[in-house]
Amino acid sequence: MSDYVNVAKIFGENVFNDTVMQERLPKKVYAKLKTVIREGGELDLETADVIAHEMKEWAIEKGATHFTHWFQPLTGFTAEKHDSFITAPKENGKVLMSFSGKELIKGESDASSFPSGGLRATFEARGYTAWDFTSPAFVRQDAAGATLCIPTAFCSYTGEALDQKTPLLRSMEAINKQALRLIRLFGNTTSKKVVPSVGAEQEYFLIDAEKFRKRKDLVYTSRTLFGASPAKGQEMDDHYFGVLRQRIGAFMKDANIELWKLGVSAKTQHNEAAPAQHELAPIYAEANVAADHNQIIMQTLKMVAGRHGMKCILHEKPFAGVNGSGKHNNWSLNTDDGINLLDPGKRPHENNQFLLVLSCMLKAVDLHAGLLRESASDPGNDHRLGGNEAPPAIISVFLGEQLDDVVEQFVSKGNATHSLKGGKLEMGVSTIAGVNKDATDRNRTSPFAFTGNKFEFRMVGSRDSIAESIVVLNTIAAEAFDEACNELEQAENFDEALHELIKKNFSEHRRVVFNGNGYSDDWVEEAARRGLPNISCMVDAVQELTRDCNVAMFEKYGVFSKTELASRQEVKYENYSKTLNIEARAMINIAAKQIIPAVISYTKTLADSIIAVRTAGLDLVSVQTELLEEISSELIKAQKALKELSRLEDKVLELPEGEERARFYHDQVAPAMKALRDPIDRMETMVDKKFWPMPSYGDLMFEV
């Protein structure tokens, strides 16, 4: 078969990975690099020169002409500045291809082009990008040719983080230190490192590119600002796990090949709950590699969709009333010698180390629930969290029957003496063997669910970097572990102190555990009774960044300084305001120039028809008259709402940037946008389709 894919052969072929380095680098250089990767520290220039040279030679063999320091500023996208390998022409008019250790290790970038939240005075535009050698370099092949991409961190001239990677790496150091202390308490002397592992499931929509282009709202804002519900929605549940359509199948095949070449272990793919929605999940990896890979996944999905005449939409809520897209961040803690700290084993009630870790996680999540919620805040995610889908905005932990029972035993008796078993699942068909059940069922409505040997944080928005939530998880876990170790390292009777601590943590923080339906109204009330925060919007969530207890924690573990947190908060307010500003302006534009004129044309047709019927001396115009009246009444509402939205748009720009402006957008502009959308969506159901100036929800979602 001509299109046979040899996965083992192509996997990682465009990655400067360990195997390639071992093959190409002199033994001494390779050993030095490995030591720095393992133990931290700096690479000397001489070593860096050798690595850079080999990396360049390898990249050129892959067709690369340029290199770029690939980084993740606070824009939510990756950024890169391309330089070719060419050095100044020699006398003979030929060029040399060169790449030095200095160029590999450090780049300089104009930081003024990226959000800094006031960190950097505008005259001080210098920013640095520094190679993160724990995430391998790769060659990306696309329409721009082949480029050697070097994953880098990005910071200001004064060392403040301006990106997602720097705090992620810092938080990995923090959790490593505290988790090592914790496992030493249980006699582990052999593990050298504890690393957070992450598997990020990515949801996305695929839309026909031609239709996409006809929707200016999608073009400018990645979401539909207008659109009546289609005749058929997702109520038939026929899409999820449905057979992949050929066009989608071809896309996925192509995307997988591109990802495999880049060393991304794309593994699971399926349709999602909504029509035209799909998911891709790679096999989990070390947190910072997983975060980089997730960026590569998003870029690749978009690129490959283009080749197939489609658009990949990563917005959290592209279609109102239809399931939105998120990203599930599966997180666990693993030692370098293969021990998962979140593995309960067969008899969780006897696994003291696991119970301590679990009790610390409950404490961490309970104390910093608002911060965890904040890590998933994004203007797009506001349409999703708290709606009747995806996770609710209230942070709770799902433990499942078995662990909940262990916690209950601790709380009521002070220790646990047994673990519930799974048993056999009988299907009632003699030819199908009984299947062993897990002791715990799944719960898909929980924002933070324990799933076997990991936690799954389901709130992250589909477009966002997973780094933010990993930073929070790592740091809150580090704090809880640190406090536990401080107590237990001093204890005279370790076993007694351990039991006491587990019991205390479980008792004090059990309120964050919830195993029921997270989408129900009852839960909202129950959570309020328990005193759990319910932060419904981004503008409120962002305040968590500068709350005293959060600042103290981040500073203590060296993850963020207070200044960095304040700057991130500014960036987020700005991002919220900018997003809503673009959306409001796009709405005004589309309504005024496309929709209202189209409706007027249609009303003219209706009026003409009424006149024609009357002229013919007939009295049968009630349908047209009624329709004309109804449409006209909606048209008036739309025109009024349009004026009001324009007025608010002018007003908001007079407000100072930052929280005040963001709040005005949330409190005033967003409701005005809804007031404009409502009559327009109603008119869409009344106006002849031939007149409607853009494809409908049905056209977009069912005709891919």
Cα separation of 191 and 184, whole Å?
A: 9
Q: Is 454 in the site for ligand ADP (CB under 6 A)?
A: yes
x/- site string to ligand ADP, residues 122 to 161, per CB under 6 A? ----------------------------------------
Cβ contacts of 490 within 8 Å, gap of 6 or more = none
Name the residue nearer to ligand ADP (CB basis): 349 or 454.
454
CA distances to 242, 540, 567, 618, 627 from 563, rounded to whole Å, are: 49, 19, 6, 77, 59
Q: Is 586 in the site for ligand ADP (CB under 6 A)?
A: no
* Phi–psi pair at 127, nearest 5 degrees: -140, 155
Binder of residue 330, out of Mg ion, ligand ADP, none (CB less than 5 to 8 A by kind) = ligand ADP
Q: Residue 673 in contact with residue 219, Cβ under 8 Å? A: no
Which pair of tokens denotes residue 673?
A: 């946008």
CB of 330 to ligand ADP, least distance (A): 3
Q: Is 292 in the site for ligand ADP (CB under 6 A)?
A: no
Q: Which range binds ligand ADP by CB under 6 A, 83-91, 275-283, 598-606, 687-695?
A: 275-283
Binder of residue 284, out of ligand ADP, Mg ion, none (CB less than 5 to 8 A by kind) = ligand ADP
Cα separation of 553 and 558, whole Å?
A: 9
Q: Is 203 in the site for ligand ADP (CB under 6 A)?
A: no
Q: Which range binds ligand ADP by CB under 6 A, 220-228, 326-334, 344-352, 523-531?
A: 326-334
CA distances to 107, 228, 303, 356, 652 from 675, rounded to whole Å, are: 48, 14, 36, 51, 17
**How many helices and strands in the chain, by DSSP H and E?**
24, 19
Ramachandran category for residue 307: left, alpha or beta (phi over 0 → left; psi -120 to 50 → alpha): alpha
CB of 267 to ligand ADP, least distance (A): 7
Which pair of tokens denotes residue 528?
A: 């309020």
DSSP 349: G
Which pair of tokens denotes residue 96?
A: 């040399």
x/- site string to ligand ADP, residues 70 to 89, per CB under 6 A? --------------------
Q: Which of residues 364-383 bind ligand ADP (CB under 6 A)?
A: none
CB of 431 to ligand ADP, least distance (A): 27
H-state helical runs in 186-310:
209-213, 216-221, 246-261, 287-307
Contact with ligand ADP (CB under 6 A): which of 22, 75, 87, 268?
268
Name the residue nearer to Mg ion (CB basis): 68 or 202.
202
In this structure, the number of other CB atoms found within 10 A of the CB of residue 431 comes to 5
For helices 622-652 and 596-615, the axis angle rounded to 10 degrees is: 160
x/- site string to ligand ADP, residues 163 to 202, per CB under 6 A? ----------------------------------xxx-x-
Binder of residue 283, out of ligand ADP, Mg ion, none (CB less than 5 to 8 A by kind) = ligand ADP
Cα separation of 33 and 42, whole Å?
A: 9
Cα separation of 412 and 513, whole Å?
A: 16
Name the residue nearer to Mg ion (CB basis): 107 or 275.
275
* Phi–psi pair at 341, nearest 5 degrees: -65, -15
CB of 386 to ligand ADP, least distance (A): 21
Q: Which range binds ligand ADP by CB under 6 A, 115-123, 278-286, 526-534, 642-650?
A: 278-286
Total residues at interface with ligand ADP (CB under 6 A):
15
Residue 312 pairs in a beta bridge with 206
Name the residue nearer to Mg ion (CB basis): 15 or 314.
314
Tokens 């994004």, residue located: 378
Contact with ligand ADP (CB under 6 A): which of 72, 135, 156, 332?
332
In this structure, the number of other CB atoms found within 10 A of the CB of residue 691 comes to 16
The contact set with Mg ion (CB under 5 A) reads 201
Binder of residue 374, out of ligand ADP, Mg ion, none (CB less than 5 to 8 A by kind) = none
Residues that bind ligand ADP (CB under 6 A): 197-199, 201, 268, 281-284, 330-332, 340, 453-454
